[in-house]
Amino acid sequence: MANTMKALVKHDRAEGARLEQVPVPSPKTGEVLVKVTATAICGTDIHIYQWNKWAQRRIKPPLVFGHEFCGEVVALGAGVDDIALGTRVSAEGHFVCGKCYFCRTG
């Protein structure tokens, strides 16, 4: 598995974002790592990119775009025994704390 991945990153409280190579995270206890195979731009992403009033009230950069996606489980954290490597999954990450590593990095 590669050590880096492409990610659309919002660093600043201003319009825009950058496509970057970022480190692939390692799953912690109770987590899985999903290799994303499909995602799309949605209305939330446009608000964040444009940095409009909606985004200014809700978003705390830095963050990685992409809260709706599907992919394949490629790594398991300790204690994960209810999902297998290779399982196809989809996720919608709108309900987030905004503070933990994964909320801040996608």
Residue 6: what pLDDT? 95
- Known catalytic residue at 11: no
Residue 91: what pLDDT? 85
Residue 102: what pLDDT? 67
Q: Is 14 exposed, middle or buried (0-12, 13-18, 19+ CB in 10 A)?
A: exposed
> The pTM is what?
0.78
Report all structural domains of the chain as residue ranges with CATH numbers, in order of start: 4-105 (3.90.180.10)
Residue 13: what pLDDT? 97
- Known catalytic residue at 44: yes
Pairing of strands 63-64, 4-10: antiparallel
Average pLDDT of adjacent 10-residue blocks, the chain of 106 residues:
92 97 95 94 92 93 90 97 95 71 68
Task: Write down the catalytic residue from 29, 37, 39, 47.
Answer: 47
Task: Write down the catalytic residue from 39, 44, 87, 105.
Answer: 44
